[in-house]
Amino acid sequence: MNIYFDNAATTVVRDEVADVVLRVMRENYGNPSSMHFMGRSAAGELADARKSVGDALGAQPDEVCFTSGGTEACNWAVFGSAGVLFREGKHIITSQIEHSAVLESMKKLEQEGWDVTYLAPDAEGRIPVESFAAELREDTVFASIMLVNNETGAVNQLAEFSREIKRRRLRTVLHTDAVQGFCKIPFSVKPLGVDLLSISAHKLHGPKGAGALFIRSGSKLHPLFFGGLQESKRRPGTEALPAIAGFGVAARLGCRELAATAS
């Protein structure tokens, strides 16, 4: 018998999820963009998964955009925001303890002339709200602070960061990498106050190859890719429906079990 202790890296796929992935691969294999019966059936599967992930986040289904995983979702949040906001300012706040999906993206922006502030964690591994507030400027157009650290498990106070932005009446777009927090700690995007939020299926007993970016209604992002109208014209490319359907089941079950544990 294997004893596995690396769930922060990836998780075993649940039986219920594997069953759905296999069913969609074998039975509901149409292209969700096609207008014929099989395409419409696949589109229904996609819509069900989108609603399940949205419900787990406390978001509307049209605020959920599927990606290939957490890394793409984080890259899109960073570069997509930069592509829209550069005329308003070129200062960004992040932390020294972000996942490389965010840190490497920030380094790339620095090479392109952006001014990036990297906040240090305190003794408990958290980013102090006071440090965040002290670095906010009129030209701070974007901030990315992870919700739960993938190495230490420290939980950051994203709602407090959001309140500070609003208190100062700044237009700073706030993103959080919530890959390690989704369906593991209770949160909802509205009270969290974020504009963008990244998640990944394989961290909560879903399949690899599926993730999502929550994009608050009204938020603008430049696309990373071009060549199709999928995901409401925001992320082109035929959706990986088997993995996404599995993601929907994993999110629904994970959310239900978290609620039962929290109560």
Query: Which CATH number belongs to the domain containing residue 71 in this structure?
Result: 3.40.640.10
DSSP 30: S
- What average pLDDT score do residues 170-177 get? 98
- What average pLDDT score do residues 127-153 get? 97
Domain with 54, as residue range(s), is 15-21+50-258
Total tally of structural domains belonging to the chain: 1
pLDDT value at 19 more than 80: yes
199 — pLDDT class (breaks 50, 70, 90)? very high
2 — pLDDT class (breaks 50, 70, 90)? confident
- What average pLDDT score do residues 213-219 get? 97
Residue 106 lies in a domain: yes
Q: What is the pLDDT of residues 29-63, one digit of tens each?
A: 999 999 999 999 999 999 999 999 999 999 999 99
Pairing of strands 115-119, 91-95: parallel
- What average pLDDT score do residues 121-134 get? 98
pLDDT in the model for residue 1: 78
Strand ranges across the sheet with 211-215: 64-67, 211-215, 196-200, 173-177, 140-144, 91-95, 115-119
Residue 158 lies in a domain: yes
Residue 41 lies in a domain: no
Residue 31 lies in a domain: no
CB half-sphere exposure, 236, CA atoms < 13 A = 8
pLDDT value at 262 more than 70: no
- What average pLDDT score do residues 111-133 get? 98
Averaged confidence pLDDT in the chain: 97
CB-based contacts of 213, cutoff 8 Å, min separation 6: 64, 65, 67, 73, 76, 77, 196, 197, 198
pLDDT in the model for residue 253: 98
Residue 26 lies in a domain: no
Residue 116 lies in a domain: yes
Residue 154 lies in a domain: yes
pLDDT in the model for residue 263: 59
261 — pLDDT class (breaks 50, 70, 90)? confident
Residue 1 lies in a domain: no
Residue whose token pair is 């890719």:
225
